[in-house]
Every structure is written in structure tokens, then in C-alpha cells.
Chain A
Amino acid sequence: MVLQITDAYVQYGASVMAVQGCTLHVDEGELVSLIGQNGAGKSTLVKAVMGMVPLHRGSVTFDGAPVTHRSFSTVRNRISYVPEDRGVFASLSVGENLRLGGITRKDKRALAADIERELERFPVLAKYWSRGASLLSGGEQQQLAIARGLLLNPRLLLLDEPTLGLAPIIVDLIFDVVAQLRADGMTILLVEQNAVRSLEISDRSYVLQAPGRVLGSGTPAELGAVPAVVDYLGFSPADVEVSR
């Protein structure tokens, strides 16, 4: 088990307990989706995984070791986090942003090869290599953020709402990339509002309702058997055509 969250309670800001008792896990090589509407607590949960916010109660374990607010080092544990706002550095160029992704790697030659690999995966980045990242469109920035995250060769890739606000063509591209990454063996936790597409490509999914409560989990067929899930989503996951 790469990631284990047990009965987590996480606070958002000063006053709101955004996650109240969430339990989930991600196994090696799985693509697991966290599906839910805005405000369900998905992003807060992810931040707790990253050690960016403290856990009020419960535990988060990564590769067997507990994650705490103070002692977590993402790089030591090789989690790549692509946040909702993408976290692209506007004052740096595309190339510099990518270099940052590999800043902790010692193996320079392998890093160079990996950068080439990402440029092949996302040709637009090669095109804009020396351009300031602030000049990229939302979709291009998203690709940059993902590419940058992949340069860590992470054990776990955390994608927080990667397709939010993007044009349909880019949404397709992103989901294709994620599916391909899964096929290549990467362990991914995908947080999404786009339930259908997520269900299509994931091994398992959790459906979350505010505050961070797991309504149902499992394959689309298993989820379809939970009436609360069908209610919440407005459709039955069992009807989704899983493409793998």
C-alpha cells in the first residue's frame, strides 16, 4: 500500500472541519480517483497527504511511514503534487520550471533524458521552452505542471483537479495522459469533479461528499450498487464505459 489515510479529520482555515473521518488507500500501480463536488473536502485531504496542513485526528501513512505536518519531505518520499492552481512559477520560463522539477535529482544525465521524454509527451512545452510561464494558457500551464511533477519519478502522483476550467480538447489530452501514465505503471491519486471521465480510466474510485465523507468506493460497477452514490452523482457509475 503506497498511501493509507485512516479516519482523517482535517481543518480548513480557522473554523471549518472540512474532512471528518475519511478512510481510503491507494495501492501500487493503481489509478484511484477522488470524485466529488466543490467543497467536498478533496483538496483539503490532499493537502493533508502532503503535510501542508496538520491532521486534527486520524493518520496518513505513505509507504508505511506516517506523514506529519512538520516532518514531511515530499522529495524524500517522492510524492509529486500538482495543485489546483497548478503552482507554475510565473516569473520563471518553461525550461526553468522544468529544471525545478528535477532540482533534487543527482543523476543529471537521466534527468536530461527524462526532460526529453516529457517534451515528447507535451510538445507544446518544447515549443515554449524559453517563454515565461505566465504567458502560457491554462491548459499549457497544466501540462507544464504535470511534466514538472513527473520529473521527480515519483512513487505517487497527486493530481488536484487537473482539468478544471480547461477547454474540452485539453481535457481529453490530460485524461489521455493520465491513462497512459497508469498504463506505464505509475501510482496516481486523481482528484476530480469530472466524474465520468475519471471513472472511465480509474482502477478504483472514491465518491466523497462534504465533509470528506466516503459515500462509496470501488470499481464503477461496485459504485453503481450504492444508491447514495447514484443519487449524489446524478447517474449510475455502472453505466460508465470503462476504457482500459
Chain B
Amino acid sequence: MNGLGSVIRGVQTPVLLVGLVLVPAVVGSLGDVTLTRVATLALISVVFVVGLSVFSGTSGVMSFGHVAFMAVGAYTTAYLTIPVNLKQALFSSLPEPLAWLADVQSGFGVAVLVSGLAAGLIAVVTSPVVARLSGLQSGIATLALLMIVNNVLSSWTDVTRGSSSMIGIPQATTTWTAFGVAAAAIVVAWLYRRSRSGLQLQASREDYWAAEASGISVGRHRAIAWVLSGMLCGIAGSLYAAFLTSFNVNGFFLTATFAFLVMIVLGGYLSLSGAVIGALLVSTLQEVLRRLQDGQFTGGSALPAGVADLVLAAVLLVVLVKAPFGIMGVRELAVLRRPRATGAETPGDDDGVGDGGDDGAVHSARSDAPAPVAGR
């Protein structure tokens, strides 16, 4: 029975999370057009926030710039999937070295992968920065990255259409596609968190210097997390583009960043389950607020636009003040908790630690901080 118990504990979190995202998938495929749209966007948000969590959750360093990866993914997919003749009309003045882009065409599947790789490339280029910075400096640097990407995308009009919308992307993302990618993202994120690199990075969360002192090269592991998370967010962008069939550069800027921030903070930025739960909760909340604003619940009278943003801002502030580690804290979704060791005197070591597998080199890393090895 013990063997079965530990197998369940090993995989319960990703299984539970995939089950959780199955809900919007089913709702989306059964509901009306609006519901399908909301559900699919929610699933795409899950992909993004899971991607963000791969970096921020494991390293403990918050990134304000991940939407930049999403943008890169979206633009890449646009370039790869917009039909050639439309492309040539849209991008009539491509600079010489990039003229070949107008003739490129690929299927959706390839586009998604290449988008992920393109975002990953940007992540690789920028990884030395995140490897070295922590805390607020990293926050500012990632914000700067968002600014740079936004500026380039808005100003390089010949290639990106600047502030005009990108249009003509063939719709290829279905609810079930989004579900599949979300499920895959969850599994990938889970495996990464339990990988050697992921565990070592989590060990550095509590005490950077203790980790370094015990031989963990935090910078390198951060860079790995950064690149992986960049790719996932790029894929999210690709799905997004192929779902909405058009997008604007301003959709990948501060408003989007804020919404994703609320998702990951509400759910709990240190936990993978938190990322998923936060994404789903906030997506639902956003839809409710939208309907409220349109007057659906108040008997027809519409609320001023901006109420939704106000509510989200208030939610974020309340969470930051009352529960900065979000709903999940550092815990993961689990049904089978580890049997409590008796007499163990670790203050604050509640049933949050070491559940569902040992990405619990985490929370009370007090005595364990530098222990990089999986399992205790």
C-alpha cells in the first residue's frame, strides 16, 4: 500500500491540475460562442501563467516582462501562418534582409513550435541578465525588457505594422488544442520543478548565498528556468494569435501584464497549482465583471468601463496585504498528504511541505536550504 501511496503522491498534482483545466475545456466545447471564447482564452492564460511560474515560482524572482515573450510568439506565428498573398500586401516594405519572411508559410503545428523557439531565443539572449539580478533589480530589468520589446514592435513599422493591428491570422486554436497545450505545459512545468535543476533553483529561494555556498550555481539554473518559461509563454502567444486571428501590440503591454500578475499573485506565485488556479479564477472573474459591466446582472444598466480594472486592482491589493503568497502559498494540489513525521521539530512545517512529491525543498528550507537532492 505504501508503494501505491508514494506513486500517487508522485503524480497527483499534475493529474489533479490537468483535471482542473479539463473543466473549462468541457465548458468551452459545450457552451455558446461566448463561453467557448472565454474558456479558450482561460486555457491560453493557463499556458502563460504556468510558463511564468516556471521562472518566478522556482526562482522566487518576479518577472514583469514575460508578456514580451508572448508577443514574440504571436508575431512569429502571424508571420508563419498568414497566407502569403495577404502577407505581401500587409508587409509591402520589408527591409531587404528580411524579404524572405513574406514568402514563408507553414502549418499551425510548426508555427507553434517555431514561436516557442523564437521566444526561447530572446530568452537565451537575455538570460545573462536574469542570471545575475535578484529582487527589485530583476523586476525593473524584466520591466525594461517589456519596454524594449514593445518599443521595437511598435516602431519597426515595416516589419511589424507598428501600432496597426496584425490581421489575417488563420484561426487554428480550438478549445481542445488549448487544453492539450495547457495540459502539456502543466506536465512540463511539473517535471521541471522536480528535475535536479529545478530543485536546486528552489533551494536558492530561501537563501541565495547559502545555496551558492553549497555549490549550486544559482545563475545558471535561473537561466535555464528563464529560457524554458520564455518558450512556454511564446507558445501561449502563438495560441493566442491563432485564436483571435488578429492582435495589436498594445495587447502585449501593461494591461496584459497586470492581468497575469493578478492571476499569479492571487493563486500563489511560488506554486504551480497556484498558477493554474489563479489563471482560472481571474479569467472567470474577468468574464463576470465584463458581464456586470455590460449590465447583464444589474438589469440592463451598464457600469462604466474601468470597473473591471478597479476590481482587479482592489483584489490584487487585498491579496498583497492579507496573503502575499496567494491562495496556495507554497503548497500544491494534493489529495494524499505525506504522513506527518512524529516529534519532528520544524517550526511552521505544516502539511504544506513535501506533499505530492518533493518540490518541498522549498518552504521551510530552514535546515534544508542547500540540500539540492530530491527526496528526504
Contacts and interface: CB of A to CB of B under 8 A. Distances in A.
Interface of A: 13-15
B367 interface: yes
Nearest to B368: A15
A13 B206 CA distance: 11
Interface string B341-376: 000000000000000000000000011010000000
B207 interface: yes
A15 B349 CA distance: 13
A15 B346 CA distance: 10
A14 B367 CA distance: 9
Please report whether the interface of chain B is mostly helix, strand, loop or mixed according to DSSP: loop
A13 B210 CA distance: 12
Contacts of B207: 13-15
Given A14-B207, A15-B207, 6 more contacts: A13-B207, A14-B206, A14-B366, A15-B366, A15-B367, A15-B369
Nearest to A16: B366
Nearest to A56: B347
A15 B210 CA distance: 11
Interface of A is mostly: loop
Nearest to A15: B366
Interface string B104-143: 0000000000000000000000000000000000000000
Contacts of A13: 207
7 contacts: A14-B206, A14-B207, A14-B366, A15-B207, A15-B366, A15-B367, A15-B369
B289 to A, nearest CB: 38
Contacts of A14: 206-207, 366
Nearest to A13: B207
Interface in B176-225: 206-207
A13 B366 CA distance: 10
B357 to A, nearest CB: 24
B214 to A, nearest CB: 14
B360 to A, nearest CB: 16
A14 B346 CA distance: 12
B338 to A, nearest CB: 22
A9 to B, nearest CB: 12
Contacts of B366: 14-15
Nearest to A14: B366
A75 to B, nearest CB: 29
A13 B207 CA distance: 10
In the complex, the 8 A-B pairs of residues with the closest C-beta atoms, listed nearest first: A15-B366, A14-B366, A14-B206, A15-B367, A14-B207, A15-B369, A15-B207, A13-B207
B344 to A, nearest CB: 15
A13 B369 CA distance: 13
A238 B40 CA distance: 82
Contacts of B367: 15
A12 to B, nearest CB: 12
B31 to A, nearest CB: 48
Nearest to B207: A14
B3 to A, nearest CB: 34
A17 to B, nearest CB: 10
A91 to B, nearest CB: 20
A58 B369 CA distance: 28
A14 to B, nearest CB: 6
A224 B366 CA distance: 39
Contacts of B369: 15
Contacts of B206: 14
A53 to B, nearest CB: 16
B276 to A, nearest CB: 28
A15 B366 CA distance: 5
A235 B33 CA distance: 86
Nearest to B210: A15
B366 to A, nearest CB: 4
Nearest to B369: A15
